[in-house]
Amino acid sequence: MKANRRSGYIILSPECYHPDMIRTQISLTEDQMRRLRAEARRRHVSIAALLRDAVDQVVPDEDADRALRHEVLLGAAGLVASGTGTAARDHDDVLGADRW
């Protein structure tokens, strides 16, 4: 990773960027920027990485969340027996509909 120092900032060369990243510009208050820099230093990550993590927490990826729920439900398939042979038909009563 090549880095050049200029004006107190580290300028990374273009090969350091992931090809799927979209460069953007945001406006922050001085206080917000101060807090971001401090947190990035504390975590030893870039401000960009910190902001990407914040976006993922505030705006979760619904497809990934749905896939995880689907995987959990498929893992539970066949683990419950009603003893009556009606678990497939009466699954809400057997599993407790309020839990899903």
Tell me the pTM: 0.48
Domain around 87: 62-99
CB 51 within 8 A of CB 36: yes
22 and 38 share one domain: yes
- Structural domain total, the chain: 2
Write out the chain's pLDDT in tens, 100 residues: 444 444 555 555 555 566 788 889 999 999 999 999 999 999 999 999 999 999 988 887 777 677 777 777 777 766 666 666 676 677 667 666 555 4
d(CA 78, CA 81): 7
76 and 38 share one domain: no
The CATH number of whichever domain residue 30 belongs to comes to 1.10.1220
Half-sphere exposure of 63 (CA within 13 A, CB side): 0
What DSSP string runs through 37-89? HHHHHHHTS-HHHHHHHHHHHHS--HHHHHHHHHHHHHHHTT----SSS-TTT
72 and 87 share one domain: yes
CB 43 within 8 A of CB 50: yes
C-alpha distances out from residue 99 to 33, 89, 95, Å: 42, 17, 8
